[in-house]
Chains A and B, each alone.
Chain A
Amino acid sequence: MEDEVLKSGVASGRVQKMTALIVDDNRVNQTIHHRLLQNLGIENQVVGNGKEAIDVHCSGKNFDLILMDLDMPVMNGIEATRKLRAMGIQSTIAGVSSRSLTDNIQEFIEAGLDDFQEKPLTIAKLVSILRKVQNHNN
């Protein structure tokens, strides 16, 4: 039900249109996360690793939300999050990984995450993340 409230809020303009960046090397996850965000009226872009996330920000783009995977080739989520924070990026960064909180993801959180959700991402988990984005923006 919460996702319906959010959707209607975005559609009516009461909720500012959000933008998001999906950072994940797995094609299945990219497709699902893209659809999850699209379904909630959130414009989003997909990149395949941490370095591409940095490059997209260096090109001048900015996002309200970054869904950051942990284990990726070229540059992983920890390094990408650290670099983005060092660049002054203040977007809400939500770590999304199939590793659980018990799998020692402390380093990931300390790199600068605002939230962490264990995969698979569901509508309910995404709505929870989006609430943090709204609070952050307010």
Chain B
Amino acid sequence: MEVGQMQRQWVDYTKSLFLEGFLDGQFLQLQQLQDESNPDFVVEVVYLFFEDSEKLLNDLTRALHSMLFWLATFECFMKVCCFWGFRFLCIFFPPSYRDQPSVDFKKVDAHVHQFKGSSSSIGASRVRNACIAFRNFCEEQNIEGCLGCLQQVKQEYYLVKNKLETLFRLEQQIVAAGGSIPMTELSF
């Protein structure tokens, strides 16, 4: 593919990321901070975001893991009981196991707040919006809402990660072919 074609592909792909809501104006702010003295600034910040996000998602999964494990095993047991018609067997479930494990919503909220902050700073608007919904459920101490939001945040994060990695690959191809990234052609 010739350089001009690659550059047009880059422009179209970048515009699509904004139109589909994956990125917002904050990403353009990052691009404005990139120059000859800091030619890899955007890539460096975004990869820092990826590193921190993986850790935050692990922390969130761990913080909610005890609840996930409880739900998975208790619901499985309920299904078995219902299938065999032995619902009364549930009363023999150990009381300590019947009680839902407590979730430290404050800890979960702190992690989500961090995630919201960094996603907002790089312009990953769909991840940020998923974090906002997540925080609302933390405030309500709604465990099912939190678990649903965790999945949503993960989904949005992996989507934008994939999109940004594709964008950076396109940039690498343009530079390798001797071209430059056509930032000025991004008009919204």
Contacts and interface: CB of A to CB of B under 8 A. Distances in A.
A40 B136 CA distance: 37
For chain A, what secondary structure do more than half of its interface residues adopt (helix, strand, loop), or is it mixed? helix
Contacts of A32: 30, 33, 45, 121
Interface hub of A28, A71, A123 (most chain B Cβ within 10 A): A28
Interface string A22-61: 0000111101100110010000000000000000000000
Given A71-B113, A119-B121, A28 B29 contact: no
Nearest to A73: B110
Nearest to A97: B117
Nearest to B45: A31
Contacts, number: 50
B118 A71 contact: no
Contact of B48 (A28, A120, A123): A28
A26 B33 CA distance: 19
A118 to B, nearest CB: 10
B26 interface: yes
B122 interface: yes
A122 interface: yes
A71 B114 CA distance: 9
Interface in B19-74: 26, 29-30, 32-33, 38, 41, 44-45, 48-49, 52
Interface size class of A (residues with CB under 8 A): 10 to 19
B116 interface: yes
Given A31-B45, A32-B45, A35-B38, A26 B117 contact: yes
Nearest to A32: B121
A121 B52 CA distance: 19
A26 B121 CA distance: 10
Contacts of B120: 98, 119-120
Given A120-B26, A123-B29, 11 more contacts: A26-B118, A27-B52, A28-B121, A31-B44, A31-B48, A32-B45, A32-B121, A36-B33, A71-B110, A71-B113, A98-B113
